[in-house]
Structure 1
Amino acid sequence: MKLVVSRLCIILVLVGCSLGTYAKASEDTETAFNTLLDEIWQYELSVQPVSATGYGVHLFDDRLADTSPAGLAAEDAQYRSFLARLATINSAELSRNEQITLQVQRYRLQDYIDQYAFNAHFMPLTSESGFHSSLAFLPAMTRFKGVEDYQNYLARLAQFPRIFAEQIYWMRQGIATGIVQPKAVLTGFEDSVKAFIFEKPQQSEFYQPFLQLDSVAINAVEKNRLRSQAEQIIQDSVFVAYQDFYDFLLQEYLPASKDNIAATSWPKGLEYYQNRSNHYTTTTLPVEDIHQLGLSEVKRIRAEMQIVLDGLDFEGDINQFINFLRSDPRFYAKTPEELLKQASYIAKKMDARLPQLFNILPRIPYGVAPVPESIAPKYTTGRYVAPTRDDQPGYYWVNTYALDKRPLYALTALTLHEAVPGHHLQISLAAEMQNLPNVRRYSYMSAFGEGWGLYAEYLGKEVGMYTNPYDEFGRLSYEMWRACRLVVDTGMHVKGWSREQAIEFMLENTALSEHNVKTEIDRYISWPAQALSYKIGELSIKKLRLKAQEKLGERFDLRAFHDAVLAYGSVPLSVLETNIEHYIANQP
């Protein structure tokens, strides 16, 4: 007996030593991991100073990014170093939540590295926007509480000539190597640049903060000095930079833009497209599989459209009904105010239904506003813009340009996608998760976020938001729109489809106006594979919901399921699947 006890004591001592060593290793690994995460985040803030301002960090408010060749090369080297150090972390010694963080951080770093490797910086614009229009967010993003804030803002405006010169340099590299946008998507693009050039500085949106000076606690002498400086810098730096870019577009870039619309016409184009597909969908699905999935979804949704049509007193087929919807004035707002008011009404109506779908709701409010006039003509029909300061709401943007192309029957689906329970709810909840590291709170994975947005449109059906057959057909048309994306995006970039063929396919199968269809097709051409994320993500969420319902039966709670989907922020679809399996296994 004594011998047995002695051996047991020895075993316990050895086990205790082993557990103590493991606990110490885990603690050391966790500390090293969190230290690395913070180092990466601080570095990102330093090289992306405008983003830092948006996150409420004001250490770099007088800076703009260094996009020079040396600057971007240094960033690439640093991101590669971070990724290598991340690979040394033993994930087995991390908690489940930390393992998710590891995957998100790896995803984020890999994207930086891939984009640089494929020379994506040679094309700093898409059909609907570019670096020049992104800078227009500066007035809204900047804190204006005192003289220093205004001086920092002016210091940024004074750097516009450098930023524009660096981007023009990269676009010239694109011309030299064939990495340019197609002619088809750039028609009238120069107008989006000209929109920022005025006769007087006071007319510029960059001058707007100085119109608010009277409400800021700064003495009169300082106010006059700041206004004078602003006028000079906007006239001599901002307007000059935009004019130089405008001239470059007309004289060099537009004439050199390519005729072929496919990503495969760029150097390493097929490899680049598959890389972007993997990035945006967070899967490794082959392009051909995505194309066939799109065709299958188009067929299924068209059958559901026919069911709606069968319930109406309409003589004709789906395509005739779509033409009727496009042409009947009853389905279109007469003024921008009418469209905005209807969008606001729908949004508020959905607000009241959110408790039916969620236990946890965000604190951050949102507003409804028009897409800025400077970008509206070539911009998508709506978008969510997250707040850039802690004293701001999010905004659901509605495009009020070309009102006869913005159908009211689709407005409910659009509102649910962009506002609630779509992007505003999901993004705000993630940003408010103080227990998560910054990389988790502020990373956005398109398959998850856009998949959630499309799923949010469907949720409106479950809480009675589509009150008539036209709105329901509009919802199906929007779902069809995302299914068509799988077909036309892969079709144009890999399978040899023409722009006209893609437009015809969209017009044939959706109730989108011709203007919207052309705008969307140009977006897909100039932003390869991003459009694949919506349907891939939505189908994954619906599949996981069905799995949870089948496994849990009467124990399934829709609100708890939605909370579980959103509980970890934006994550790859494989991680989402694991999260839901964990949720199912832990239900009482």
Structure 2
Amino acid sequence: MPDHEETPNSAVDAAVSAARAILDETWRVVSETPYASRELGRTVDRLPDIGLDAVSRRTRDGKEILARIARVDTDLLPGDLAITLAASHTMAARWAREEDWYWLAFDPMGVGFFSMFAPAAYSGGFLLNIVHEALEKVTIGDEVTIDRYLALIDEYGRLVRQLGERTAGQADRGIIMPAAQLTRATPLFRGLKGVARGVLRAVAERSPELSHLGLVETRITAEVDPAFDELVQILESTTYADRAPDVVGMAHYPGGEEVYAELVRIHTTLDLSPAEVHDRGHARMARIREDMRALVAQVGFEGTPLEYLAYLADDPAWRATTPEEITVFFDRYIDRFAPEVDTYFGSRPRAGYGVVPLPAASAGTMTFGYYSPPQPDRDRGLYLFNAANLSRAALPMVAALNYHELVPGHHFQMATQREATQFHPIRRHAPVNAFDEGWAEYAARFAGEIGMYREPEERFGRLVMEAFLTSRLVVDTGMNAHGWTLEQAREYMRENAFMDTAEIDSETLRYSCDIPAQALAYKLGDDFLYELREELRVTLGDDFSLVGFHDAVLRGSGLPLPLVAAHVRQELTRAHPNEKAGTEGRRRFVRDSAAHVTRAERGGGR
């Protein structure tokens, strides 16, 4: 392959121009998603469209982008542009299959979190919560007139109707929500009806024009209330409820086995089969259980790891009952890591960070909580913790949770990603599940390597989190690919995940009925980054820099894991004596990175 110096400038310029145009088109599609709109802090001018026609348009966009990428000679591109173009290929390949998958798995947020059933917490529930967050920032005035706001209320009703239309369309095709999920879906959307009313009315209540409230109330009654009622009626109808199966998992539906195998690749960005993931989970869990037994023996406790956790639940030192007391736990570990940042990281995000309680309305749908990156109207990253759940159990795992969610985990990575103005917007704002969760878990592992789990209880807490996340590799693949029943999965988690019954019930439905394969990213991504680090430590010897590795990985945000490896190798080998090998390795990874997604161009499953 000729070097750039031997290639006519016109050919290089044409390839660069074509690649940049493709990236801009990819960003246009990404920027229209609800997730990106929230990230960019846009004033709401329209609500998401999740109907089949809109999905078909995105599929056409994806196929066109793939065709344009195929015409670009990537060997003529600068390294970072070539890698970013390969990331664009991954996104477009995902979009290219959406129309074919629509009735079995759809992507309401537009970020690759394919959901089976719309009336579920992480699907339609999460989508409507994102819409509510956006509407809470709307004020009727110069920017959003009353007529435009009334149109938004109409769109809200349309969005809820689309959730119902997809549910009815699935039923027409024999795809019915499992009974265990159905019992949760109906109360969830009854509750969301009330939440929606409150959010939509609050916009008018902030308006100085008293007449606005009456207009808004009339429009909600005419458009939004009936849409929720129609969806609930579908779920409660005997023609739907009487057909709800007792079995769970994608493999029980036509084409589900093939689609799930592709979802494993989408969420891990690795060419792994469900069987390989399942086996890795069992092997990983065996190592964790052995480490737990050794730690329990070391502290002189006579009993099982599960009994040790119950023992800690009776220790006031590891309990908290109020949000303020739980915050003290998190602050302990935030303060502990702060002096170590400069030793192991060459750069840090400008944005600050902290913790706040999760709103009560969301407490029933989240096990621990979630991290929210800095927003245009909020210059801090926040971890919103579920105080209701955390107050019911011992808290030795808060250290690991903190290092996963904040520093050096999600906050370090996501805030750094958004502040990297040198990158194209698709690198700054498009989430990649395998990288985002893989880095966060690598960060929690790394905290242990440098002694951040000082007490045996904290080390045990880290193992508890490891067991919980590792159990997902087994039960997610078990239910969706290996025919496991819901009770089999719950029994496995009762034995291995160290969670209470309510959390296990919620988590197993998340994996089997809501967003299958998403939970696989955490530990597989962690292992990938750890193994990459150790490989480079051996390859580079004395030239290896831990600070350099961490900074290079963080600059790889927004990329699938194979491209992260290509990027890190390129950066760390640039000054290495074997620089040419590093360059060739980068080119090889750029060419090979798309191999695991080419199935999308041949069609996935129905």
TM-score (norm 2): 0.85
Return the letter of the residue paired with 1:173.
G
Distance 1:574 1:54 in 2: 25
2:46 corresponds to 1:52: no
Q: Partner residue of 2:455?
A: 468
Per the TM alignment, residue 225 of structure 1 is displaced from its structure 2 partner at its CA by: 4.3
Q: Partner residue of 1:8?
A: none
The 1:545/1:200 distance shift into structure 2, 3 A limit, reads closer
Q: Partner residue of 2:358?
A: 371
The 1:563/1:261 distance shift into structure 2, 3 A limit, reads same
Q: Partner residue of 1:147?
A: 141
Return the letter of the residue paired with 1:294.
G
2:159 corresponds to 1:163: yes
Q: Partner residue of 1:224?
A: 210
Per the TM alignment, residue 280 of structure 1 is displaced from its structure 2 partner at its CA by: 0.8
Q: Does the CA contact (< 8 Å) of 1:339 and 1:400 recur in 2? A: yes
Q: Could you say what secondary structure the match of 1:452 adopts?
A: helix
Residue range with higher mean Cα deviation, 562-571 or 512-521: 512-521
Q: Could you say what secondary structure the match of 1:147 adopts?
A: coil
Q: Does the CA contact (< 8 Å) of 2:251 and 2:483 recur in 1? A: no
Q: Could you say what secondary structure the match of 2:387 adopts?
A: coil
Q: Could you say what secondary structure the match of 2:232 adopts?
A: helix
Deviation by residue 1:146-166 (Cα, 9 ceiling, x = unmatched): 714443555322312211112
Alignment of 1:547-562 (within 5 A): 547-562=535-550
Q: Does the CA contact (< 8 Å) of 1:49 and 1:63 recur in 2? A: no
Distance 1:466 1:20 in 2: 54
- Which of the numbers 233, 238, 245 marks the counterpart of 1:258? 245
Q: Could you say what secondary structure the match of 1:190 adopts?
A: helix
Q: Partner residue of 2:81?
A: 98
Per the TM alignment, residue 334 of structure 1 is displaced from its structure 2 partner at its CA by: 1.7
Return the letter of the residue paired with 1:576.
V
Per the TM alignment, residue 55 of structure 1 is displaced from its structure 2 partner at its CA by: 1.9
Q: Could you say what secondary structure the match of 1:243 adopts?
A: helix
**4+ residue segments displaced more than 6 Å:** none
The 1:470/1:278 distance shift into structure 2, 3 A limit, reads same
Per the TM alignment, residue 330 of structure 1 is displaced from its structure 2 partner at its CA by: 5.6
Residue range with higher mean Cα deviation, 143-152 or 442-451: 143-152
- Which of the numbers 24, 37, 42 marks the counterpart of 2:10? 24
Residue range with higher mean Cα deviation, 384-393 or 448-457: 384-393
- Which of the numbers 106, 130, 135 marks the counterpart of 2:123? 130
Q: Does the CA contact (< 8 Å) of 1:280 and 1:447 recur in 2? A: yes
Deviation by residue 1:57-82 (Cα, 9 ceiling, x = unmatched): 55xx3212333333332332232222
Q: Partner residue of 1:205?
A: 199
Unaligned regions of 5+ residues in structure 1, if any? 1-14, 214-219
Unaligned regions of 5+ residues in structure 2, if any? 107-114, 577-606
Q: Does the CA contact (< 8 Å) of 1:410 and 1:471 recur in 2? A: yes
2:482 corresponds to 1:498: no
Per the TM alignment, residue 502 of structure 1 is displaced from its structure 2 partner at its CA by: 1.6
2:187 corresponds to 1:191: yes
Return the letter of the residue paired with 1:569.
S
Per the TM alignment, residue 553 of structure 1 is displaced from its structure 2 partner at its CA by: 3.6
Per the TM alignment, residue 476 of structure 1 is displaced from its structure 2 partner at its CA by: 0.9
Residue range with higher mean Cα deviation, 519-528 or 247-256: 247-256
Q: Could you say what secondary structure the match of 2:347 adopts?
A: coil
Distance 2:332 2:507 in 1: 26
Q: Does the CA contact (< 8 Å) of 2:175 and 2:253 recur in 1? A: yes
Per the TM alignment, residue 481 of structure 1 is displaced from its structure 2 partner at its CA by: 1.7
The 1:461/1:49 distance shift into structure 2, 3 A limit, reads closer
2:163 corresponds to 1:176: no
Return the letter of the residue paired with 1:573.
L
Q: Does the CA contact (< 8 Å) of 1:127 and 1:378 recur in 2? A: no
Per the TM alignment, residue 105 of structure 1 is displaced from its structure 2 partner at its CA by: 0.7
The 1:164/1:200 distance shift into structure 2, 3 A limit, reads closer
The 1:279/1:556 distance shift into structure 2, 3 A limit, reads same
Q: Could you say what secondary structure the match of 2:361 adopts?
A: coil
Per the TM alignment, residue 272 of structure 1 is displaced from its structure 2 partner at its CA by: 0.7
Per the TM alignment, residue 375 of structure 1 is displaced from its structure 2 partner at its CA by: 3.1
The alignment of Structure 1 onto Structure 2 pairs a total of residues equal to: 560
The 1:345/1:209 distance shift into structure 2, 3 A limit, reads farther
Q: Partner residue of 2:508?
A: 521
- Which of the numbers 51, 60, 72 marks the counterpart of 1:77? 60
Deviation by residue 1:510-535 (Cα, 9 ceiling, x = unmatched): 33233222222221112211121111
Per the TM alignment, residue 437 of structure 1 is displaced from its structure 2 partner at its CA by: 1.1
Q: Partner residue of 1:7?
A: none
Alignment of 1:375-414 (within 5 A): 375-391=362-378, 393-403=380-390, 405-414=392-401
2:45 corresponds to 1:62: yes
Q: Could you say what secondary structure the match of 1:395 adopts?
A: strand
Distance 2:434 2:380 in 1: 24
Q: Does the CA contact (< 8 Å) of 1:381 and 1:516 recur in 2? A: no
Q: Does the CA contact (< 8 Å) of 2:26 and 2:92 recur in 1? A: no
Q: Compare CA radii of gyration and give the structure with the larger one.
A: 1
Return the letter of the residue paired with 2:553.
V
Return the letter of the residue paired with 1:456.
A
Deviation by residue 1:247-283 (Cα, 9 ceiling, x = unmatched): 3332365444332212111111111111000111111
Question: Aligned-residue CA RMSD in angstroms?
Answer: 2.9
Q: Does the CA contact (< 8 Å) of 1:335 and 1:403 recur in 2? A: no
Q: Partner residue of 1:570?
A: 558
Distance 2:306 2:34 in 1: 50
The 1:94/1:126 distance shift into structure 2, 3 A limit, reads farther
The 1:96/1:179 distance shift into structure 2, 3 A limit, reads farther
2:529 corresponds to 1:533: no
- Which of the numbers 23, 33, 37 marks the counterpart of 1:37? 23
Distance 1:123 1:148 in 2: 40
Q: Does the CA contact (< 8 Å) of 2:163 and 2:231 recur in 1? A: no
Q: Does the CA contact (< 8 Å) of 2:168 and 2:234 recur in 1? A: no
Q: Does the CA contact (< 8 Å) of 1:264 and 1:493 recur in 2? A: yes
Percent of pairs with identical residues:
28
The 1:51/1:258 distance shift into structure 2, 3 A limit, reads farther
Q: Does the CA contact (< 8 Å) of 1:325 and 1:511 recur in 2? A: no
Q: Does the CA contact (< 8 Å) of 2:280 and 2:473 recur in 1? A: yes
Distance 1:125 1:369 in 2: 29
Return the letter of the residue paired with 2:40.
Y
Return the letter of the residue paired with 2:572.
I
Per the TM alignment, residue 128 of structure 1 is displaced from its structure 2 partner at its CA by: 2.9
The 1:156/1:465 distance shift into structure 2, 3 A limit, reads farther
Per the TM alignment, residue 284 of structure 1 is displaced from its structure 2 partner at its CA by: 1.2
Deviation by residue 1:160-211 (Cα, 9 ceiling, x = unmatched): 221111221111111122334322234333222222344995xx13444455
Q: Partner residue of 2:570?
A: 582
Per the TM alignment, residue 398 of structure 1 is displaced from its structure 2 partner at its CA by: 0.9
Distance 1:544 1:354 in 2: 21
- Which of the numbers 414, 423, 428 marks the counterpart of 2:415? 428
Return the letter of the residue paired with 1:559.
V
Return the letter of the residue paired with 2:159.
I
Deviation by residue 1:100-151 (Cα, 9 ceiling, x = unmatched): 1111111111112223322223845375333244223335335547714443
The 1:64/1:185 distance shift into structure 2, 3 A limit, reads same
Q: Does the CA contact (< 8 Å) of 2:432 and 2:559 recur in 1? A: yes
Return the letter of the residue paired with 2:118.
L
Distance 2:173 2:416 in 1: 43
Per the TM alignment, residue 538 of structure 1 is displaced from its structure 2 partner at its CA by: 0.6
The 1:19/1:395 distance shift into structure 2, 3 A limit, reads closer
Q: Does the CA contact (< 8 Å) of 1:385 and 1:397 recur in 2? A: yes
Residue range with higher mean Cα deviation, 497-506 or 178-187: 178-187
Q: Does the CA contact (< 8 Å) of 2:270 and 2:561 recur in 1? A: yes
Deviation by residue 1:268-309 (Cα, 9 ceiling, x = unmatched): 111111100011111111222211111111111112112211
